Chain A
Amino acid sequence: MIPFNTIAYGLTIGAILYIVSIGLSLTFGTMKIVNFAHAFIYTVGAYFLITFLALSQNNFFLATIIAVMLVIPISYIIERFVIRKLYGVSIDLAIIATYAVLLIGTDLIKWVWGTSPISLSDPLGGRMITFLSISLPLYRIVVILLAIILFFLVSLFFKLTVIGKIVIAALEDKEAVRSLGIKVDKYFSFIFILGSCLAALGGVLYAPIISIYPYMGSSLIITSFAVVIIGGLGNIQGTAISAFVLGIVMALTGIYWPPASEVVVFLVMAVSLIFKPIDV
């Protein structure tokens, strides 16, 4: 018997992983750095959500938009004053610097919001949808649909807009694009901010499903890196497929041996690296 219900739950995890991983994949592919600060943006998005939920009389939609918008100046500061300073100087130092930002950010969150986990109620009132013996909360279906819509929007963005085309070209050969007189770094910072907004959106959407705590980003980010490495750096389609497949794998492992669900991702990553080494 195939556990359809578990697969459906796995798709939700995959959807969140996909939304968070887009930004990581793009910064990884274009700038060749591992951006640990992404985890901070993801967490702070969720914390902004609970703050603005309280201020806006539980208007989830409004609070989401405010949370995602507030991330823009934060990610701009990180890009402008940390990453761009080290970009081209040393990849290793840039990675360490983003990790330092994560440490500082996590501690700021603990300072402002406290360390105890916060749970949120389902914004759609916990309604269930039953379809062919699969019973799933409506909210999870909305999350999956949102991820699919985002996938098409992102794909269209890279196909149709000039910014998207420049970034795709820069993923292939940055020097060639620069020699055409295009300021690549400007587009990279735009992509960085876009990816950060999506990370915050991922945090916001995942918040009602799990509880919010200061280290939620640190634990998700490594899974998300695995998604990026398995899917291929800067590969939008590959990231989507690997996110959903890994989400299902995690959910299936969760039935048989719950504590192993996070680790199985790294095993998949190790196996994929044996067969397909990445040279950055």
Chain B
Amino acid sequence: MQNNAEIILENQYKDKNLFITLIVALCFILLMPIIGVQHTIDYMIFCIYVLGYNILYGFLGRLSFGHMLYFGIGAYAGGLFARYIIPNPLLAMLVSLSAGALIGLILGPIIMRTTGACFALINLAFNKIGFFLAAVAFDKYTGGEDGFPVRYIKLDFLNFYNKYVTFFFVFICLLMVFYILKLLTGSSFGLIIKSIKEDERRVKFLGYNTYNYKLIVFIISTTITALAGFLTTINYGYVTTGFIDPNRNVEVIFAVLIGGADSLYGALLGGVIYMGITNYLAIYIARWEMFLGIILLILALKFKKGIWGYLEIIKEKVIKRG
């Protein structure tokens, strides 16, 4: 049951959210002619992944070191479904999203009971198990380290061999994810998960069952991450163990930190910046791991709020002065 205050709160924010989503849409459309269609698709998929990660880290305050597992589950579920059952992209997407939600529902009760360092490690441990299952245990079906190709059939106008169709499909997915998360974080639900981040005991004290909230956030996060994994199969047309590789977890952490963990815009900005660095700077950087490490160290020690966080501070200062 919603009480009146909540309904008023939601109505007030709905128009504003749509407006903001449109601005985000415009930004990505403007990005397309600058960096090309293929790059924009890559950037948008990565942004979906970062958004899914950020709802867990930025809003609930749980640092996962194994989110590639959920990304990989989305990719493998969609890819295997298309390969062995029906190569229908929409059905595969449904399977992929359900797989993401299901894994959240199964692992959530184990994982969400822990916090802090244990949480980070348990995700990593499950990611290792997932990688092993995909690369070794079921290599008859998944092709092991080499992976397998994924071909989706054409559905009327949904022809993913056309890059522009893929672009608009991913684009709409990104906007929907962004809009839903914007609604969610602006609602009373969002307030409660932010309060859990600050002090879980007090929220419990107010009579909320914090465990349910945490579990729901975890499932939302795994489902969105699985969506990003599925979109990658559409974009590249294959699935390999690189999509579930535990060593790639640092990418999304890097993106969230550089963008700023406290907001959705920070997540989008971080995703675009990380992809920009890998696309345009990686060729000039001979020692890639060291570069990532040094930047991460600077972000963790001196630049804690990320780029968006500092932009907001500057904005507040300007407003105060004006």
Within 8 A of B (CB), among A215-262: 218, 222, 225-226, 229, 259-260, 262
Cβ–Cβ contact A263 & B129, under 8 A? yes
Cβ–Cβ contact A266 & B301, under 8 A? no
Q: Contacts of A263 on B, CB cut-off 8 Å?
A: 128-129, 132
- Say whether B287 faces chain A, with CB atoms less than 8 Å apart: yes
Q: Contacts of B114 on A, CB cut-off 8 Å?
A: 273, 277-280
Cβ–Cβ contact B122 & A273, under 8 A? yes
Q: Contacts of A131 on B, CB cut-off 8 Å?
A: none
- Contact pick for A96, options B129, B257, B288, CB 8 Å: B257
* A97-B296, A266-B129 given; A280·B304 CB < 8 A: no
Q: Contacts of B129 on A, CB cut-off 8 Å?
A: 263, 266-267, 270
- Say whether A159 faces chain B, with CB atoms less than 8 Å apart: no
- Say whether A54 faces chain B, with CB atoms less than 8 Å apart: no
- With contacts defined as CB atoms under 8 Å apart, how many contacts are there between chain A and chain B in the complex? 123
- Say whether A174 faces chain B, with CB atoms less than 8 Å apart: no
Q: Contacts of A267 on B, CB cut-off 8 Å?
A: 129
* A273-B110, A278-B118 given; A97·B125 CB < 8 A: no
- The CA of A279 and the CA of B201, in the complex, are separated in Å by 13
Cβ–Cβ contact A85 & B290, under 8 A? no
- The CA of A33 and the CA of B65, in the complex, are separated in Å by 13
Q: Contacts of A273 on B, CB cut-off 8 Å?
A: 110, 113-114, 118, 122
Which of A99-107, A138-146, A148-156 has 4 or more CB atoms under 8 Å from chain B? Answer: A99-107
- Contact pick for B126, options A34, A104, A260, A270, CB 8 Å: A270
Number of A residues contacting the other chain (C-beta, 8 Å)?
47
Cβ–Cβ contact B253 & A222, under 8 A? no
Within 8 A of B (CB), among A18-53: 28, 32-34
Cβ–Cβ contact A280 & B115, under 8 A? yes
- Say whether B314 faces chain A, with CB atoms less than 8 Å apart: no
Cβ–Cβ contact B301 & A97, under 8 A? yes
Which residue of the partner chain B has the closest CB to A277? Answer: B113
- Say whether B267 faces chain A, with CB atoms less than 8 Å apart: no
Q: Contacts of B61 on A, CB cut-off 8 Å?
A: 92
Apart from A104-B294, A273-B122, what 20 extra A-B contacts exist at CB < 8 Å?
A33-B117, A86-B300, A92-B61, A92-B63, A96-B299, A97-B297, A99-B65, A99-B296, A104-B290, A218-B247, A222-B125, A259-B132, A263-B128, A263-B129, A263-B132, A266-B128, A273-B114, A273-B118, A280-B114, A280-B118
